[in-house]
Amino acid sequence: MKTRVFTSGILVHKGKVLILKRRQDDDEYPGLWDCLGGHFEEGESAEACMTREAKEESGLDVGLVRPGRLIEYSDRYGRSIAVPFLLRSRSARVVLTEHSESRWVSPSALARYRKVPAMIEALCIFGLVPKPAGRTAR
């Protein structure tokens, strides 16, 4: 089974969370909403990966507020390990390069969006949404 390791960044600005819609032709989770993040380059730290990916995907310079515990899950794409970060930015002006749409959403409105698994878990880890009933931490 293939294992993917990546960063998953929850960016909060003035009480709202940045969500990014994956393109319909994406290989994984097409059309679902996601957060900033991505795969490591060789020899790259999690912190460097997170800030690089945030800049590439949104055009924003982000600051790392704090990391969260690792997120691990398996799905039809294989095994995944995400390194989550809570992020901040001085700007809300997003310039998309890899996603089809972006929105700044209040935490209370996040339930209306179909999200990728790592984002759901990261939002719970950082206390932005309640843990779904019946779910246990891994």
Q: Tens digit of pLDDT for each residue in 25-60?
A: 999 999 999 999 999 999 999 999 999 999 999 999
For 8-29, give one letter per residue: b (16+ CB within 10 A) or e.
bbbbbbeebbbbbbbeeeeeeb
pLDDT at 131: 81
pLDDT at 1: 74
Kindly tell me if the per-residue pLDDT of 138 is higher than 70: no
Higher pLDDT, 1 or 112: 112
What is the rounded average pLDDT for all residues in the chain? 94
CATH architecture designation of domain 3-125: Alpha-Beta Complex (3.90)
What DSSP string runs through 16-58? EEEEEEPPTT-SSSTT-EE-B--BPPTT--HHHHHHHHHHHHH
Q: pLDDT at residue 100 above 60? A: yes
84 vs 50: CA distance, rounded Å? 9
What is the β-pairing status of strands 3-13 and 78-89? parallel
Burial (CB count <10 Å: 0-12, 13-18, 19+), residue 37: buried
Using pLDDT thresholds of 50, 70 and 90, give the confidence band for residue 134.
Answer: low
Give CA–CA dist 87/114, Å, rounded: 21
Q: Are 31 and 62 in contact (CB under 8 A)?
A: no
Task: Supply the pLDDT for residue 54.
Answer: 98
Per-domain residue ranges of the chain: 3-125
Q: Is the pLDDT of residue 132 over 90?
A: no
User: What are 86's strand-pairing partners?
Assistant: 10, 66
